[in-house]
Amino acid sequence: MRQYNFDQVIDRKGTDCIKVDLLEERFGTKDLTTLWVADMDFRTPDFIVNAIRKRCDHEIFGYTYASPDYYNSIIDWLQYKHNWSVKKEWLSYIPGIVKGIGFVLQCFTNPGDKVIIQPPVYHPFRLVPQQMKREVVNNPLKIVDGKYTMDFEHLESIIDDKCKILILCSPHNPAGIVWDKETLIKLAAICKRNNILVISDEIHAEIVYPQFRHYPFATVSPEAASCSITFMAPSKTFNIAGIVTSYAIVPDDKLRSEFYRFLEAGELADGTIFAYTATKAAYTYGAEWLQQMRSYVIENVRTVDNYLKAYIPKIKAYPPQASFLVWLDCRELNLSQAELVYLFKDKAGLALNDGKMFGSGGEGFMRMNVGCSRLIIEQALEALRKAVTKK
């Protein structure tokens, strides 16, 4: 069994990398440790790189199509990872999950219609509908006994005839929640009863920690299957976000016919050579690499949690159940959000995502990306300790 090296520190400067090369534009300085954008600093696994190299050796990059091998790699992976028996006709390539959300809104809603989101949540869930002149309605998550949960009573109170879409983040970003089956069943029942279409963003589904189980939304009940469009991708899991490898899964015949007809009209479902190549390689050969990467990330999360408890107890790591993102609860520092951002950026020299960007409930929090060498994490934590001590 090959052992992969996740300790390696790789310089990403000069590669048009958002996380590094846009630091000055986004943060006003280049001299920060980059723990923000949700891609990892681990080398893309060799079986994907080699598959792309082999395809490049052919030296002709003409029009391409999604071959049976492409579809079968996804079908086999979903069966292996989630015990989900997906039919080929349910699947379609999409050029990114955020773009997919926009396509669904264009296909199934009109300006002025309402879109429900559950903040604090991935910010494009709010921005895309707003920019498309849909009204965003918040159904904030609530914290009960230290754990985030959905507020179904509030959800039912805000639904009216103009509510057409609910965007679900599963697993949840930024809090790393793996929703239990009962929660998803209840959500599906409410949405089905009110004719609300659920867009289920499941891009972090493969990086669920061993003690938890991810349930694809469409699998939890007949109601869920009949009122949902699921988006997945190998991009977060195998660190290939720049290749754009997303796909949609739509079990319901009527929804699928309408949505895929919309995609086909603009050739929006046509992927690229490297998207198909990378997806096939990732899902065919990626199980062992994923297991090792996940174990490394979990140890990084443990490192953050233990350090904060020992040296910065006023900052708490909300315990993620999936992904390489850690939601830091900084409320006990009693700082304004601007002061909190100043502490991390200007005093500690760290680039994290400001919790406020995730909407209601994000104030007092910061999101930390731990998909990098443990050495970087340890150095960042020490810098944060010094900054808090001098506060």
Cα 66 from chain centroid (whole Å) = 24
pLDDT category of residue 2 using cuts at 50, 70 and 90: confident
Q: Which residue has the tokens 């048009």?
A: 16
pLDDT category of residue 223 using cuts at 50, 70 and 90: very high
Helix H, strand E, coil C: the string for 272-293 is CHHHHHHHHHHHHHCHHHHHHH
pLDDT at 8: 97
Cα 167 from chain centroid (whole Å) = 13
Contacts of 48 (CB under 8 A, 6+ apart): 238, 240, 278, 281, 282, 286
DSSP for 29-45? -S-SEE--SSS--SPPP
pLDDT digits (tens, 9 = 90+) for 92-119: 999 999 999 999 999 999 999 999 999 9
**pLDDT at residue 166 greater than cutoff 90:** yes
pLDDT at 391: 59
pLDDT digits (tens, 9 = 90+) for 276-332: 999 999 999 999 999 999 999 999 999 999 999 999 999 999 999 999 999 999 999
